[in-house]
Each structure stands twice: as C-alpha cells, then as structure tokens.
Structure 1
Amino acid sequence: MKRILDCRASNFRQMGREELKGAILAAEGRTVMAETVVVSQPLLPEITNAELAKAFGADLILLNVFDVFQPEVRGIVPFDIFNPDSGAGTVSNPIAEIKRLTGLPVGINLEPVDASADAVESLNVLPEGRRATARSLAKAKELGCDFVCLTGNPKTGVTNAQILQAIGTAQEHFGGLIIAGKMHGAGTRGSVIDREAAVSFAEAGADIVLFPAPGTVPGLREEELAGIIAEVKEKGALALAAIGTSQEGADEGTVRTIALSAKRAGADILHIGDAGYSGMANPENIMALSIAIRGRRHTYIRMAASPLR
C-alpha cells in the first residue's frame, strides 16, 4: 500500500474506499485536507480555490456548500476581472473537473440535519442537495465523489444522532470513504466532544471520525482528544482533526501550534477550513500546516506534482 505522500493523480484514479483509507493510514499523520466554499468568488478569480489549495500542499479537497442536484464550483470557468462578461457557463460534472484539474481525491460535505434540534439560534434551511439523504448520497456517488463528510455548517442543526443515522444511509447508498463528526456546535446546544458518539460513529461504519482540533473549541484539551482517538482507532476508524472555527485565517504560528497538538493527539488527517479569505484558508496557512506535520520535502512535492503524473 502506497502512502498518500507518494501517491500521484494516476494512483488516486485507481483507488477505492479501502485503498484511500490505507494510503492515509500509511502516511502516519501526514495527510492534509483543505476545505473550500464552492459558491464563493475564488480568492484568485482565474482559478478555483481547490486548485490553489492543492498548489499550497493539500492532499485531499473537501468542497463545502456543494449542492449535488445543482452542482457548481465557481472558478472552473475563469472570471476575467477586465471582462465582466467572462466567467459565465457551467460544467456538467464539477466533481470530475476538479479531480482532473488537481489530480487529488475530492469529496463534499453533506449535512445530517435534525429538524427537532435544540438550537442556539435560528437555523438555516438547506436544500436536499446539501443534506445527507439517500437521494443526495446516491447522487454524490454518481458524480464521482471519493468521500463524503457527514458534518454540519454553522446554524444547520446537525446532531450526533442524525450523523449516526446518516452513516448507515451512506453505507447503503454511497459506497465511498465516509467521514463523520462535528468540528463545532453547528447551531445546537451541548458538547461538541462526545466520547460515546465518536465510538458509535466508528462502530456504525465511519472510516474516519472527525473531531475539532485542540484549541479550536472551548475546553478541548489534547489529552482528552488523545484518549477518545485511541478508542476510535480500536474500532478500526481513522481520526481527522479539524480547524473549522475560522482560525484557518489566523497567523501561521497559531496554525502550526494547532496542527502539532492534533498530531500528538493521534490525528491521521489534519483539516483546515474555508473561513480565511473568499471561501478558503489563507494559502500560506495550508503550507504552514503541511510543513509542520511533514516537513518541506513532502510539502513541496505535493505542491509541485502535476495532475498529469
């Protein structure tokens, strides 16, 4: 099994669920996932945020606010700032195009919304194409998503109970790599860190259980996270630590500190969110995170590797 560090576009094209999970495991905590908002004007209008994230060291691309029934990724059709009429047009399958442009595995967020959630404030109403339903998961498979992340954006009312249910639905209708968990409250009350819920996600078939990284939500300590991750790994799942509370727009030193803490706690994947500038992390922070967890050599190789390889 190749480490994800050594995988190129031709390797990723041949990978299924188990092969991708094995490649991440083999990299020993040196995998970077970058999240981007597909409906935002890209940071550089001539290209997608996904391409920019890859150029700064991401191994996996997670698309946020992606509607499987109205698929769009802004930047696939470049916008010329000197020509207001440019940037129009659509691509029939943006997932396939992002995979072609970056040479990386690409996945999407689908949100297990709980209509009865005890909400902190008014919740957003999501279209079915963004929710974790049987139809949307089947459509994600049809579009060629390599993984789905069953989690919640702010004010969406996603609960652990609904995430657990969605894992079973994804097992039946999706078939790719399943990531499940919460990186913040998603508008609901109660603790984001729930040991029992995390273990139940792994037992239900999640390949990767998602946690907030230490220092990103109040009160989460590295030692506490390490204990929960150890239990999840005993169930056969991997662990993802997420920077999903807008600290992806903090200074590089903060990002490095969070990344190393998460790696010490046992994270297999370090995630960096989309709330820096214009729907993605500050690009320099993606690189800083990557260098912190795996050094310049592997970072520069990922940055430079052509999708034609």
Structure 2
Amino acid sequence: MVKRLLSTDSSEILAMNGAELKQSIKASEGRTVLSENVVAEAAGDGLTTSEIAAAFGADLILLNGLDVLKPAIFGLYPDEGAVVHQDGESIHRLQHLVGRPIGVNLEPVDPNADMAETRLEIPEGRMASEKTLKEAEKLGFNFVCFTGNPGTGVTNAHIAGAIKVAKRVFSGLIIAGKMHGAGVNEPVVSLEATRAFLDAGADVILVPAVGTVPGLDVDDIKPIVKLAHQAGALVMSTIGTSQESSGASYIESVAIQNKMLGVDIQHVGDAGWGVMSPIENIYAMSKAIRGERHAISRMARSINR
C-alpha cells in the first residue's frame, strides 16, 4: 500500500505508477495541489516555472503549451533558452529538478466543432493522438491531462475518444475534462460527458472550480463529484479562467468551497503571470486546504529525500 501524497518524499512519489499515484492522492483526502505552468517562456533567473511552483507548495506539475514531439522547456538547460534536446531526457531532468510528478496537457481537438469564437490552431505535438500519447509515454510523464486551451476547439466527445486511446498506450494517470468552453458551443460539464469519460477509463474527472465559469455552482458540480467517486475515479477542480491572479482571498474562498464539494485535487492555472499562478496564490491554496503545517512541509521537504 502506498503512502499518502501529503507525506511522501520525492524518491517515493517518483517511483509510483499511475495506479499508485491515484491511490496516494486519494489517501490525502482533498489536500493535493496541482500547478499548471506554461513552459515555452522564461520564468526568470534561469529557472523553470515548474521549480518555482514546486518551491511554493505544488504537489503535481502540469505542463501547458508543450509540444511533445519537440519538447522545449525554458530554463531546463542553463543559458540555452527553450532548446529542443533530442536525447529524450527533458522530462526526466525536470522530474529530477523538482522532485514532483510531471504531467502534460494534450488537447483532443475536434476539427468539426461548432465554434463560439475564432479557432486557435495548435501544432500536432500539442494535440491528443496515439502518436503524441506514445511520445508522452516514452518521455516518462507521470500523467496526461485531456483538456482545451481557449479557442482550440476541444470537445467532450473527442476527450472521451482520447481517453480510450490513452488506456492502450499510456501507463500513467489520466485526467480528463474541460476548465472552460475552449471556444466550443457546448456545456462545459455534464453528467452525460462525465459518464462517457468514466466509461472510457479516466482516472480523474476535471471540472471547473465553483466560482470560475459563469453559472456553474455547487448544484452543478456536486453530482459529478459523487458520480466519479462512485465509479472509483478522483475529481480535480480547476481555476483556468485567469482568476488564478485574483488574489489570496479569492483563492482561499474557492479552495474551501471546492473542498466542501469533495474534490481530491485542486488546480491553479497558468494565466496569472502568463506562465503560472502568482506564487503567493499557490501558497494560499495550499495553506487553505491543508493548513500551515502541511503547506510548509511540502515546501521545505528536500527533493533529495
């Protein structure tokens, strides 16, 4: 049996497979923080955004905007900017630097989606496909997240299809759902879409945090949390609407509301500074859902343990 993520050392957590990571998060009883970071821009002083997020309490790191076919991460190799290294060790190096599980956003784009805004075209290496999922497996990612950035045309139906492919070719944790509309005329969340994700094999159902997407409240999200838990899946609430920069009081309010709903992971997005959430808000979320003791423990625990 695995230890709860709340109390794990880096050597223990990075040795976990997808099923073990899921159980470790479940055992932490709603006290897991995930920070999403843009990797294609500099964070400053030769550091990766992931290192900064980990330093302020993130348990899990989700990379956004990464082309898995050309994996370039700013700050990964000193004084080289965002250089693509062909040795296949980029993600292993990042795991070594931060001591945290690393995941990647792959977007299940629907070319025929009924768009509500101008479509944003993204490269093949950012889209969800058998090719990119096999590459994610090869690179050593601990988890993948099927969701959509603004305007990319990701649909719930294509998310369900991507999950089925991932179950065949990817061994890590699978997170799936929409943080916002992603430019498409369809409900962001629904019980129907959730059932499709669960039937396809998703390990974690992604939902917008209460207080982010207009009109979505506790009554909309609570049934999805219950359905996912009954099916043996976890739930991650997400702040993906630029409100990750709305201030500590907002972050704390959202964190407590969503913990009351029973979510297992709380996500804070990357749009605050354009690359990641302001660091004080990562800490505010961490402290709100698990208290100062565990927040400081995650920040201070050496990655060499």
Give the SS at the match of 2:206.
Answer: strand
- How many residues are matched? 302
1:142 alignment partner in structure 2: 138
- State the Cα deviation string for residues 204-254 of structure 1 (Å, max 9, x = none): 100000000001000111232112210111111100000000011111000
Give the SS at the match of 1:95.
Answer: helix
Q: How does 1:71-110 map to 2 (within 5 A)?
A: 71-79=71-79, 87=81, 89-91=83-85, 92=87, 93-110=89-106
Which residues of structure 2 form unaligned runs of 5+? Answer: none
Q: 1:254 aligns with which of 236, 250, 255?
A: 250
Identify if the C-alpha distance between structure 1 residues 299 and 122 changes in structure 2 by more than 3 Å, giving closer, same or farther: same
CA contact (8 A) 1:223 1:265 kept: no
Q: 1:210 aligns with which of 196, 203, 206?
A: 206
Give the SS at the match of 1:219.
Answer: coil
CA contact (8 A) 1:106 1:145 kept: yes
Q: How does 1:160-309 map to 2 (within 5 A)?
A: 160-309=156-305
Give the SS at the match of 1:242.
Answer: strand
Name the TM-score, length of structure 2 as normaliser: 0.96
CA contact (8 A) 2:32 2:265 kept: yes
- State the Cα deviation string for residues 56-90 of structure 1 (Å, max 9, x = none): 000000000111110011011345xxxxxx64755
2:16 alignment partner in structure 1: 15
- State the Cα deviation string for residues 137-169 of structure 1 (Å, max 9, x = none): 000000000000000001100000000000001
Identify if the C-alpha distance between structure 1 residues 262 and 88 changes in structure 2 by more than 3 Å, giving closer, same or farther: closer
Q: Distance in 2 between matches of 1:45 and 1:194?
A: 43
Name the TM-score, length of structure 1 as normaliser: 0.95
Q: CA RMSD in A?
A: 1.2
Give the SS at the match of 2:61.
Answer: strand
CA contact (8 A) 1:41 1:278 kept: no
Q: Distance in 2 between matches of 1:40 and 1:197?
A: 33
Give the SS at the match of 1:225.
Answer: helix
CA contact (8 A) 2:74 2:82 kept: no
| Identity percentage of aligned residues | 48
Give the SS at the match of 1:68.
Answer: coil
Which residues of structure 1 form unaligned runs of 5+? Answer: 80-85
Post-superposition shift, 1:199?
2.0
Q: Distance in 2 between matches of 1:13 and 1:175?
A: 14
- State the Cα deviation string for residues 33-71 of structure 1 (Å, max 9, x = none): 0000011221x2321110000000000000001111100
